[in-house]
Structure 1
Amino acid sequence: MIRTGDEYRASISTGRKIWIDGETVDDVTTHPMFRPIVDIRARIYDLAHEESTRDVMSYVDPETDERNSVANKLPFTQQDWIDKRAAIDVVLDEARGVVTRVGDETIGEMWSLYDGQDVLNEVDPRFAENIRNHVHKAVVSDPFHISANTDPKGDRSKRPQDQDPDMLLHVVAETDAGIVVRGAKYETAAPYATQAFTKPTIANWGDDQLSDYAVGFVLDLNNPALKFICRTGFAGRKPADDYPLSNRLDEVEALVIFDDALIPWEDVLFYRHTRAATYIRGTLHRYSALPYVHRSIRYADLMIGAALANVRQTGLDKNPAVQEKLAVLACYREGIDAHLTASIAKAEPSPGGLLMPNPSLLYAGRVWAQTQLPQMMHIARELCGGQICITPDSATFAMPEAQPWLEKFYTLNDEWHSDDRRRLLAFARDLLNSDYAGHRVTFQLFAQAPPYSHYQAVYRNFDYDGPLDLVREAAGLSERVGAKAGQA
């Protein structure tokens, strides 16, 4: 059943080997670079218990009469997807910003493999049974589930076998207890999550039908053979008054080292099966893309709100040119929402009996959200003006010598006093101009796949027969020409 925040904290306070910013982390729940995001994840657990949000964040299983998380519920109906979007909004309201890797997005990757049980059965029926068991376990045990995709890779002009083999995660031994793996993965949130769906990144297997690199499993992140080497976090580096988003919402990535880690057989989902590896890479985001892209709506709302507040405080909201730019931001936001809403309205049954959002609409929405983001951020910068890059910090505003002058020049009217204006400009700077803002743009580009893969997903899922038939009829082409074109 659903966890509490304290139960979650206890589950990750297990002496993991974590290094960040040149130091060893004694307790991931209290370290200043981790504590803010751990507190948000714990808060998500508690929201499922509180009366005001319980029915949005959780549901009662009619068979067990237990409460489970809406995020981990298998989607069988359109209402299930509507409920998941509502739960995401509650989380983002509570976070007062955008958090991405909190489990509701990454759990969907497991459902893609659930759809591929027939593929798993080709190599070993145990693997299909394992995915069914883990999907059920995720529903009832409420883990903080993340994704492990990207390896260090090394020299990508060479096969992994032709260089240091550890550049890609691979199996080095089989035992009665399970497989032993060695290598590394980059994983967002790994130091403070419960488990990770670990899978290969290789896209072209060539003629290698049986490969030690074609392995996928559910990883217990308390495995003693793991080491977590983290990038420097944003939280705690600069004053919270000046960087309100960086200090609250940073989701820390880690290079997770697998130092001959034993993976029990019951956690192995496929092994030495390149078709399964290819299948999961091709279908990985058919569910997870929706909650991921849904967050882009909230990022758009933050940009619109910051820009609108800024132009209203200076009276520029009456200017037609300013209104046009605000409308561009609004169209960006509504375009994302329209794609996601339509993908649910035109959802399709999956091979495993689930209901998946319409892939063509979903992936097209992801492309719209990601390709337009840098341009939308630039428009928001224009509307916020140059003061987001030249305004002094909060400590200077508090100096007795500087305070009167800053109050004079930053106070606009009875509504906008200097302190509120400073806070708005600091928020906009952190949202649009800070190193955290740059990190968010890069994360959005690559968090689910490289940009070219986004277009490949659209290409593979768009129905080309309609346009081809239309042109065949309009141009008077023969049936044969149309059929050949459609097959191509």
Structure 2
Amino acid sequence: MTRSGQEYLASLRDGREVWLDGERVADVTRHPAFRNTAASIARLYDLAHDSAHTAELTEDGVHRAFLVPRDHAGLVARRRAHKVWAEAGYGFLGRTPDCMAAGATGFAAAPGVFTTGAFDGADHARAWHRRLAEGDLYAAFTLTNPQSDRTRPASEQEEDDLVVRVVAEKDGGIVVRGAKTIGTAAVFADEVVVGTIEPLAPQDVEHALSFTLPLATPGLTLVSRTSYEGRARSVFDNPLSARFDENDALLVCDDVFVPWERVLTYRNTDTTFRMWWDTPAYVNFVHQGATRFWTKLEFLTGLAILLTRANNTHELPQVVQAIGRLMGRVAQAKAFVLAAEASFEEVDGGRGGVRPGKEISYAQRIVAGELYPAALQEIKLLAGGGVIQLPASGADLLHPELGPLVRKYIRSPGHGAEERIKLLKLAWDALGSEFAARHEQYERFYHGAPHVYLTQQAWEGDTASCEALVRSCLAGYGLSEGTVRPGHGLSEETVQR
């Protein structure tokens, strides 16, 4: 059954080890660097648990992200659930609970990928998916290795415990040591998946594993980056960063014990890589992420429209054209989601249901990283300098001496000072703050580095059809079709006509 928001918050008070600014955080649900975002995620659970959106978000008491879609309609139903949660965070909460839920569902749809001669993790993958679904648990993931020497594989770094690896086997499980980075939203999750989404060298066998753990596991430490929520002055002054900073953390394993039933892949470089790509897990990530991205562009475009109205420039031809470009980008983002669903593919001959079309899903990764910076640039030009000259705090409006000055000079026709400042502070938080800068970088690398996804698109895309189309054209004519006169591109026959 689904959990309420309060039940979710209670689950975070489990003694997990989270560090920020040299301080161990006793309770992320009450700490000023995390509490508002935790409350925002709790609201997502309330929407699913008991609200007007419950039927859209769940089926038979389970969130739709945990259900294996059996046809196109199933994909559409899952996307509508993704959209409800994306709109609740205006697209700024990327790794909401439905993200890894969809990934775990991808594992359950094709568990055979986890079966090898030396280790069989198929039952473990199915059991983990079932445990998440039945408990309505929030799982995050950490798949990125620390950025050390990129020219060397994991096993050849200067220190042997930089990247998570196996250091011992015991009767009941294994002991792991090392780190993973960019654990987005891990601070707020119930469990974490630790693995590797990039290819591993054959000698990296000790690093070739994936497993799941509760966040309160002894020896597991999360080191948080700067909290934008913690730096926010108020919700009025920083309306996005004060409520939707999902955080990113370094995950460190200090001789952490992992029970065998929580190990998904073990000492197999091929399976540890393929579990993301040969199951629907990764395209399920893209389905959720693309739906959120579409929602985020809708929000930014709406912000641009309101800014032009506040500036009284919305009827200028060049401004209308700029809004048209933004609306076109929203339509592109939407089209990728719908096209991926429409081009669905069967999983394991239909036994694992269906997944969004891989080619369109992979292409969305390319377009999103290009659309987002372009949209920001467009909106910044529309906003002008008004987002720079703002009161340090909304409290200035209430000050007996400053208030009259602010209300007199920071307004526009039809928009009072409070309304205008509120809008401009929202715009700055989305466009120019440190929170905004993180989101631009986040969207550029949301699905990995460009050199990775561009190469993968070339490999996975239907290049043969593109070649075949040109070859059919070349095959349709030749020198025998007519004599070409020197200096002309027309055949004799064409000239005669």
Structure 1 residues 201 and 461: CA distance shift in structure 2, 3 A: closer
Tell me the distance in 1 between the aligned counterparts of 2:200 and 2:14. Answer: 38
Sequence identity (%): 28
Give the alignment's Cα RMSD to 1 decimal: 2.0
Tell me the distance in 2 between the aligned counterparts of 1:197 and 1:27. Answer: 22
**Aligned residues of 2:194 and 2:211 also touching (Cα < 8 A):** yes
**Aligned residues of 2:48 and 2:63 also touching (Cα < 8 A):** yes
Structure 1 residues 119 and 365: CA distance shift in structure 2, 3 A: closer
Q: Name the residue aligned to 1:481.
A: none
Tell me the distance in 2 between the aligned counterparts of 1:6 and 1:53. Answer: 18
Matched, 1:26 2:26: yes
Scaled by the length of structure 1, the TM-score of the pair is 0.91
Matched, 1:471 2:464: no
Please state how far the C-alpha of 1:233 moved relative to its aligned partner: 0.6
Tell me the distance in 2 between the aligned counterparts of 1:194 and 1:469. Answer: 50
Determine which structure has more spread, i.e. the larger CA radius of gyration.
2
1:229-378 to structure 2, matched below 5 A, reads 229-240=223-234, 241-280=236-275, 282-283=277-278, 285-351=282-348, 353-378=352-377
Q: For structure 1, which segment, 416-425 or 113-122, has the greater mean C-alpha deviation from structure 2 after superposition?
A: 113-122
Q: Name the residue aligned to 1:485.
A: none
Q: Name the residue aligned to 1:452.
A: 451
Tell me the distance in 1 between the aligned counterparts of 2:177 and 2:65. Answer: 31
Q: For structure 1, which segment, 106-115 or 365-374, has the greater mean C-alpha deviation from structure 2 after superposition?
A: 106-115
Tell me the distance in 1 between the aligned counterparts of 2:159 and 2:303. Answer: 48
Please state how far the C-alpha of 1:243 moved relative to its aligned partner: 1.0
Please state how far the C-alpha of 1:17 moved relative to its aligned partner: 1.6
Please state how far the C-alpha of 1:404 moved relative to its aligned partner: 2.0
Q: Name the residue aligned to 2:38.
A: 38
Q: Name the residue aligned to 2:492.
A: none
Tell me the distance in 2 between the aligned counterparts of 1:123 and 1:389. Answer: 62
Structure 1 residues 204 and 151: CA distance shift in structure 2, 3 A: closer
Q: Name the residue aligned to 1:484.
A: none
Q: Name the residue aligned to 2:10.
A: 10
Tell me the distance in 2 between the aligned counterparts of 1:330 and 1:321. Answer: 14
Structure 1 residues 137 and 53: CA distance shift in structure 2, 3 A: same
1:386-401 to structure 2, matched below 5 A, reads 386-393=385-392, 394-401=394-401
Scaled by the length of structure 2, the TM-score of the pair is 0.89
Tell me the distance in 2 between the aligned counterparts of 1:233 and 1:454. Answer: 29
In structure 2, what residue type is equivalent to 1:183?
G
Q: For structure 1, which segment, 305-314 or 86-95, has the greater mean C-alpha deviation from structure 2 after superposition?
A: 86-95
Matched, 1:72 2:72: no
Tell me the distance in 1 between the aligned counterparts of 2:133 and 2:476. Answer: 53
Tell me the distance in 1 between the aligned counterparts of 2:323 and 2:214. Answer: 46
**1:386-419 Cα shifts (integer Å, max 9, x gaps):** 1112222323333333322322223323x31111
Please state how far the C-alpha of 1:331 moved relative to its aligned partner: 0.9
Matched, 1:200 2:199: no
Matched, 1:164 2:159: yes
Please state how far the C-alpha of 1:265 moved relative to its aligned partner: 0.6
Q: Name the residue aligned to 1:173.
A: 168
- SS of the residue aligned with 1:152? coil
Tell me the distance in 2 between the aligned counterparts of 1:107 and 1:258. Answer: 23
- SS of the residue aligned with 2:228? coil
Which aligned segments of 4 or more residues in structure 1 are displaced greater than 6 angstroms? none
User: How many corresponding residue pairs?
Assistant: 469
**1:416-438 Cα shifts (integer Å, max 9, x gaps):** 11110010110000000111000
**1:27-66 Cα shifts (integer Å, max 9, x gaps):** 1111111111111221211212224121012111xxxxxx
Tell me the distance in 2 between the aligned counterparts of 1:437 and 1:38. Answer: 19
In structure 2, what residue type is equivalent to 1:335?
Q
**Aligned residues of 2:69 and 2:353 also touching (Cα < 8 A):** yes
In structure 2, what residue type is equivalent to 1:259?
D
**Aligned residues of 1:346 and 1:358 also touching (Cα < 8 A):** yes
1:406-485 to structure 2, matched below 5 A, reads 406-413=406-413, 415-476=414-475
**Aligned residues of 1:13 and 1:29 also touching (Cα < 8 A):** yes
Q: For structure 1, which segment, 307-316 or 122-131, has the greater mean C-alpha deviation from structure 2 after superposition?
A: 122-131
In structure 1, what residue type is equivalent to 2:430?
L
Tell me the distance in 1 between the aligned counterparts of 2:291 and 2:98. Answer: 11
**1:351-395 Cα shifts (integer Å, max 9, x gaps):** 362311111112212211221211110100111111112222323
In structure 1, what residue type is equivalent to 2:213?
L
Q: Name the residue aligned to 2:131.
A: 137
- SS of the residue aligned with 2:425? helix
**Aligned residues of 1:181 and 1:261 also touching (Cα < 8 A):** yes
Tell me the distance in 2 between the aligned counterparts of 1:229 and 1:75. Answer: 36
Q: For structure 1, which segment, 127-136 or 445-454, has the greater mean C-alpha deviation from structure 2 after superposition?
A: 445-454
Structure 1 residues 68 and 124: CA distance shift in structure 2, 3 A: farther
Please state how far the C-alpha of 1:212 moved relative to its aligned partner: 0.9
Structure 1 residues 474 and 95: CA distance shift in structure 2, 3 A: closer
In structure 2, what residue type is equivalent to 1:422?
I
Tell me the distance in 2 between the aligned counterparts of 1:109 and 1:58. Answer: 17
Structure 1 residues 108 and 449: CA distance shift in structure 2, 3 A: farther
Tell me the distance in 1 between the aligned counterparts of 2:125 and 2:333. Answer: 32
Please state how far the C-alpha of 1:116 moved relative to its aligned partner: 5.1
In structure 2, what residue type is equivalent to 1:268?
V
1:119-158 to structure 2, matched below 5 A, reads 119-124=113-118, 126-158=120-152
Structure 1 residues 462 and 380: CA distance shift in structure 2, 3 A: same
In structure 2, what residue type is equivalent to 1:77?
D
Which of 219, 232, 255 is residue 213 of structure 2 equivalent to? 219
Tell me the distance in 2 between the aligned counterparts of 1:30 and 1:373. Answer: 33
Matched, 1:55 2:55: yes
